[in-house]
Structure 1
């Protein structure tokens, strides 16, 4: 899938299930991989590349109830706060994980002058449509 979707930095929605108005238009998420996991019926692995412009940030959001997430910084520096954990800055080559139904309260490019790029890999129920929902 080569289509590019403009949505919040970590408000990652593979399909058009998330309304564009709920997100900062500065971030670009590109679906990279999607495949049912053959030896785990009902589970799918989805991967996306998230491009953060300088100073780009997403709205606070909640991840899909079934989604376990592995995040890996491909370039730049990304500030993240998940659930009640501390704010942390992850640099190129560093990674973290997020348990199902996490609240992603901060997700932003830590730099106002350089872009950043993230690989996010989700393992989730195959019937999940929206990977994230904005927190109001």
Structure 2
């Protein structure tokens, strides 16, 4: 892999990480970059992970993700209520996971508890230059 290709991939990953916290996040949640790396055997693709921290009763605004993003979500602690596209809302507890297909609308994403915090790890497989990662629904 050439230095130019590597630098371009790293720049794209940096843009994705910065874009993650800039859009669609309500003041009741925080998004913390966890991991980002170009997938060297799949040119143009990156793996990006973020932690979404919800205080008691915290929630995200309805949103979509980058058009190329396939997302694997893992509940690290607490309980998360989630609804993606037309599927029924469901509560996931620590140790459970779900996924979002590219182009899906994440209609509900919130802490299911009014007294305990919750944490979600979201792992994106995404085109390296596809940003922002999250956009509020209009």
Q: TM-score, normalised by structure 2?
A: 0.84
Correspondences of 1:1-136 after superposition (within 5 Å): 14-16=17-19, 19=22, 22-136=24-138
Structure 1 residue ranges (4+ consecutive) displaced by more than 3 angstroms after TM superposition = 16-20
CA distance in 1, matches of 2:126, 2:136: 18
- Give the Å deviation of 1:16: 4.0
For the aligned residues, what is the CA RMSD? 1.5
- Give the Å deviation of 1:23: 3.2
- Gap regions ≥5 residues in structure 2: 1-15
Q: Secondary structure at the match of 1:14?
A: helix
Judging by fraction of residues, say which structure has more helix.
2
Q: Secondary structure at the match of 2:18?
A: coil
Q: How many residues align?
A: 123
- Gap regions ≥5 residues in structure 1: 1-12
Q: TM-score, normalised by structure 1?
A: 0.85
